[in-house]
């Protein structure tokens, strides 16, 4: 049977890639050091497959079709299409894991979820900025799972907790002898395309970190739901962290570091769940 070997989360600000050569030295050093540390932790878990949750940034979906969840079940997916990603992560294709992807999809339906699925997805900066900075082998198979976090209505934090628990059960019921890690990417606070663009809501970020550290699931879901209504639209991406949290059994949160990063327009944070 497959083994769940770790749960992780990281910010994915596109300006980390877009402005890589012009970031302040201290910002670039922080990114290299902190993302490198989380990458080392992930690699130490020796996963054979990485299940990544992120939002799609109008690359695969638009307003004509916007699934709440979409599971990538193909044997291969496309690398990041954004021009600013090409110099730093030039991989045209990335391997998927068809067997585990299909198994998660089937278990989702059995658990009364109704996700979309795709044989071939484009993995944009949301997934590829962290795996680039982690220094992961591009041959590591990925099961990409997109969550709608760009256009309301969004899955609730309560629903994301249930999804994360389902993903954990799906991994542990997969019959092949493989090691599987879960990664959620996005956040923390940021505001994109709004009049508050560039605002980093530090009180929100610190409150979220404390919820992951100490709150039971019901309080985390209720308080995060309320907090997300009063911060920038990019805060919606915390739902990917909620999924990683639930996959880890909602315990063991261990923050690598957090800083407000104006150059990337985000509150930048990285964490592992030591479950």
H or E element: which one contains 253?
strand 253-261
Distance CA 143, CA 53 (A): 9
- Where do the DSSP E strands lie in 40-157? 49-55, 69-72, 76-78, 93-95, 116-118, 142-147
Residue 143: left if φ>0, alpha if ψ -120 to 50, beta else—which one? beta
CB 10 within 8 A of CB 244: no
Burial level of 199, CB count in 10 A (0-12/13-18/19+)? middle
Nearest to 264 by CA among 38, 22, 55: 22
CB 258 within 8 A of CB 205: yes
Phi/psi for 173 (5° steps) reads -100, 0
Distance CA 89, CA 79 (A): 8
Give me the active site residues, please. 125, 190
Distance CA 214, CA 3 (A): 26
């Amino acid at each position: 049977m497959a083994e769940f070997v770790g749960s992780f989360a990281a910010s994915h600000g596109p300006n980390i890639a877009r402005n890589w050569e012009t970031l302040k030295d201290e910002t670039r050093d922080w990114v290299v050091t902190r993302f490198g540390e989380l990458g080392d932790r992930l690699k130490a878990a020796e996963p054979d497959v990485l299940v990544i949750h992120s939002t799609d940034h109008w690359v695969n979906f638009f307003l004509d079709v916007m699934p709440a969840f979409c599971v990538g079940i193909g044997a291969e997916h496309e690398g990041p299409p954004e021009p600013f990603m090409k110099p730093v992560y030039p991989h045209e294709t990335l391997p998927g894991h068809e067997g585990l992807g299909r198994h998660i999809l089937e278990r989702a339906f059995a658990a009364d979820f109704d996700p979309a699925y795709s044989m071939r997805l484009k993995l944009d900066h949301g997934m590829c900025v962290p795996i680039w900075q982690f220094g992961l082998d591009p041959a590591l198979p990925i099961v990409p799972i997109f969550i709608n976090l760009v256009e309301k209505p969004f899955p609730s934090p309560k629903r994301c907790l249930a999804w994360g628990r389902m993903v954990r059960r799906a991994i542990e019921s997969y019959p092949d002898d493989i090691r599987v890690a879960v990664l959620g990417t996005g956040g923390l606070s940021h505001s994109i395309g709004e009049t508050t663009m560039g605002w980093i809501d530090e009180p929100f970020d610190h409150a979220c970190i404390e919820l992951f550290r100490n709150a039971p699931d019901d309080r985390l879901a209720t308080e995060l739901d309320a907090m997300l209504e009063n911060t920038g639209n990019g805060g919606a991406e915390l739902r990917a962290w909620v999924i990683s949290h639930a996959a880890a059994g909602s315990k063991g949160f261990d923050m690598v570091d957090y800083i407000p990063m104006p150059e990337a327009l985000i509150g930048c944070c990285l964490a592992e769940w030591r479950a």
